[in-house]
Amino acid sequence: MTIEINVPDIGDFDGVEIIEVLVKAGDTVAAEQSIITVESDKASMEIPCPQAGVVKEMKVKIGDKVAQGTLMLILEPAEGGAAAPKVEAPKVEAPKVEAPKVEAPKSAVAPVAAASVEPHNPTVASVNAPHASPSVRKFARELGVNLATVSGTGPKGRITPDDIRNFVKAAVAGVGSSSAGAAKGGSGGGLDLLPWPKVDFTKFGEIEEQELSRIKKLSGPNLHRNWVMIPHVTQFDEADITDLEQFRKDTNAALAKQGVKLTMLAFVMKACVAVLKKYPAFNASLSEAGDKLIVKKYWNIGFAADTPNGLVVPVIKGVDQKGFSQIANELGELSAQARDGKLKGADMQGATFTVSSLGGVGGTLFTPIINAPEVAILGLSKSAMKPVWNGKEFEPRLMLPLSLSYDHRVIDGAMAARFTTELAGVLADMRKVLL
């Protein structure tokens, strides 16, 4: 005999999405064991099976929308299994068969209940399904984390965002430099990642295989680690650089015979140091254990350099002790060495803060990835003339888009907003670097 198991009364929810299917055909389930998890825009809930038995056929899958009365599965009830009131009615129709089973001693029923749970490990795990909010479940899915493998530290064992981050941090630390293997579909030291899709692209058209450059092969695992391990948030802002750009052009014209060419990046680096001194948490690193903040008393600014073989990050040392001309010269020299592949290891070490400029290419805003062990990175996009209200009228001003990505474990949103506001103020009036 088989019975249909439908979605029970789940309140004022209609058409909620299934985000987890905890059993499959052939599984043995216990009474009140969770079989699916549904999620609305406000909450998630686990739907239990009203009685013990064997799943003969699943009628739903992940992504389906269900409501009260939706057929979930076909169940073959277990002998002597506890039944919900709704499904006990058929048993009353056969009193001669059911009566002995109802009156059977507990010792006779116990082996059936035990057998329904123990043989299938995934079923056992789903009895104690992880407790987490919809936002945490979504966060875990984005990172490829199986919630069943995460220990919750919240109230009643609820899994928090920090639990997910700590799990990923421990997993990646266990993988070390082999994170590239995890990206190809490995377990990632505990990360429950889906295998990388295997597709025969030649079935759809002509293809050409190109070997990744050495730089991209080296930087890929680092970028993957930084994105997974650091909780990124990006603060966007604009800086009025109308007067600064005019000063830069006038100065370059005056210094043309000396071969000096000031760039906007040189001014931005100097401005960043002034703001980093006011907000030292941005010029810091988390300790390896994550329990201390290491604040640096030196200011070395890295800058992302675009090369034919990929992105590299040379470092200008002691920016606080150098003038604009010296910074501009070093930027030019290091950029040329980067393009020629002649940078030394020491040229790319010791940065306390990084600036990534796409102003020469284009775009409006972007989210730069933090270069660990730093805690922040500033992105610059292409400046543009915009009408700005001066209190009386709109006037054309040259505005520079700013994108500040920061490690949310160290820096909060208010501090990041103060940082970009202060930086915009310094760029609008570079005399502030003297204060």
The residues annotated as belonging to the active site are 408
- Closest by CA to 229, choosing from 168, 151, 150, is 168
DSSP category for residue 333: H
Inter-axis angle of helices 161-175 and 214-229, nearest 10: 150
CA torsion 55-58-63-66 (nearest 10°) is -90
**Does residue 316 contact residue 334 with C-beta atoms inside 8 Å?**
yes
Token pair for 75: 């169940």
SS3 label, residue 79: coil
Bond prior to 221 in cis (omega within 30° of 0): no
Cβ 399 vs Cβ 239: under 8 Å: yes
- State the DSSP code for 159: B
How far is it, in rounded angstroms, from Cα 248 to Cα 245?
5
Whether the CA torsion 9, 11, 17, 22 is positive or negative: it is negative
Beta-sheet pairing, 376-380 with 353-357: parallel
* Pairing between β-strand 376-380 and β-strand 394-407 as defined by DSSP bridges: antiparallel
What is the C-alpha to C-alpha distance for residues 73 and 60, in angstroms, rounded to an integer? Answer: 7
Instruction: Please state the separation of Cα 257 from the chain's center in Å.
Output: 50
